[in-house]
């Protein structure tokens, strides 16, 4: 379905969180398969360092670049994510599935059209920056809204040397200017360093598989 024809079915977790013009909202998308304390750490860090009003965890139906074989249902992942988030300024939503969007570029375009007065920031880990050039419409994403890159163990140098980082280098701002990022016209991005979480959804799924209790 073309992005211009997306229609939201507003029920349950498919509802978009409440928002008002001028608000600074971080968008943190992913499979959250499962959500863990590392996701929460990234969110709390972003709220503080970027001066955001809130962060939306966008639980995606699936990632076109990943194997869907071990993917739990969207509703299950979203419910687990809400338990992990447990914060008044972190909202969990599955609206991406409700509008039929498959790619991030379509999801962000939808939000920009729906809320033209909101200051959105796309948030992703350094590992995603390293492969960002493989995403559908990645240059368009960079032109659509500011981006915050959160450092991850083992990815600091790889991300900084990646094709996308080099291509977008002209829009990078100093880390000390991070609070201004939501107000900047894209392309604009910042690389945030700080305490890093070693938690991984992949490792948590492995532990669940090997658990004598079947992972539950």
- Where in the sequence is the domain holding 151, given as residue range(s)? 23-210
In the chain, the number of structural domains is 1
- Does residue 2 sit within a domain? no
Given this model, what pLDDT does residue 194 score? 80
- Measured CA to CA, the distance from residue 54 to residue 57 in angstroms comes to 10
Nearest C-alpha neighbor of 146 from the set 114, 166, 124, 126? 124
> Is the separation of the CB atoms in 52 and 121 below 8 Å?
yes
Given this model, what pLDDT does residue 53 score? 98
- Does residue 58 sit within a domain? yes
- Does residue 170 sit within a domain? yes
**Residue 140 tokens, joined:** 């368009």
Q: In what order do the strands lie in the sheet with 54-59?
A: 90-93, 54-59, 24-30, 119-125, 147-150, 189-192
**Residue 48 tokens, joined:** 């503080």
* Least confident stretch, 10-24, 37-51, 81-95, 104-118: 10-24
CA trace torsion 197, 77, 66, 52 (10° rounding): -50
- Inform me whether the pLDDT recorded for 98 exceeds 90: no
Given this model, what pLDDT does residue 66 score? 60
pTM recorded for the entire structure: 0.85
- Inform me whether the pLDDT recorded for 102 exceeds 60: yes
Given this model, what pLDDT does residue 180 score? 98
**CATH code of the domain containing 160:** 3.40.50.620
- Does residue 150 sit within a domain? yes
- Inform me whether the pLDDT recorded for 145 exceeds 80: yes
- Does residue 160 sit within a domain? yes
Nearest C-alpha neighbor of 77 from the set 68, 65, 89, 87? 68
- Does residue 118 sit within a domain? yes
- Does residue 16 sit within a domain? no
- Does residue 107 sit within a domain? yes
- Measured CA to CA, the distance from residue 161 to residue 156 in angstroms comes to 9
């Amino acid at each position: 379905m073309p992005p211009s024809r997306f229609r939201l079915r507003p029920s349950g977790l498919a509802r978009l969180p409440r928002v008002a013009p001028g608000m600074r909202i971080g968008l943190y998308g992913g499979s959250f398969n499962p959500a863990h304390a590392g996701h929460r750490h990234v969110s709390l860090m972003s709220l503080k360092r970027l001066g955001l009003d809130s962060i939306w965890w966008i639980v995606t139906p699936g990632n076109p670049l990943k194997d869907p074989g071990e993917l739990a249902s969207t509703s299950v992942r979203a419910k687990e994510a809400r338990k992990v988030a447990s914060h008044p300024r972190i909202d969990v939503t599955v609206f991406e599935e409700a509008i039929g969007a498959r790619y991030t570029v379509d999801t962000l375009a939808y939000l920009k059209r729906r809320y033209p007065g909101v200051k959105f920031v796309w948030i992703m880990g350094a590992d995603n920056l390293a492969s960002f050039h493989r995403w559908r419409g990645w240059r368009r994403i960079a032109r659509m809204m500011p981006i915050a890159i959160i450092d991850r163990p083992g990815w600091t140098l790889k991300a900084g040397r990646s094709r996308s980082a080099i291509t977008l280098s002209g829009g990078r701002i100093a880390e000390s200017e991070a609070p201004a990022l939501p107000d900047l016209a894209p392309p604009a991005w910042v690389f945030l360093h700080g305490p890093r979480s070693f938690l991984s959804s992949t490792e948590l799924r492995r532990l669940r598989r090997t658990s004598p209790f079947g992972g539950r």
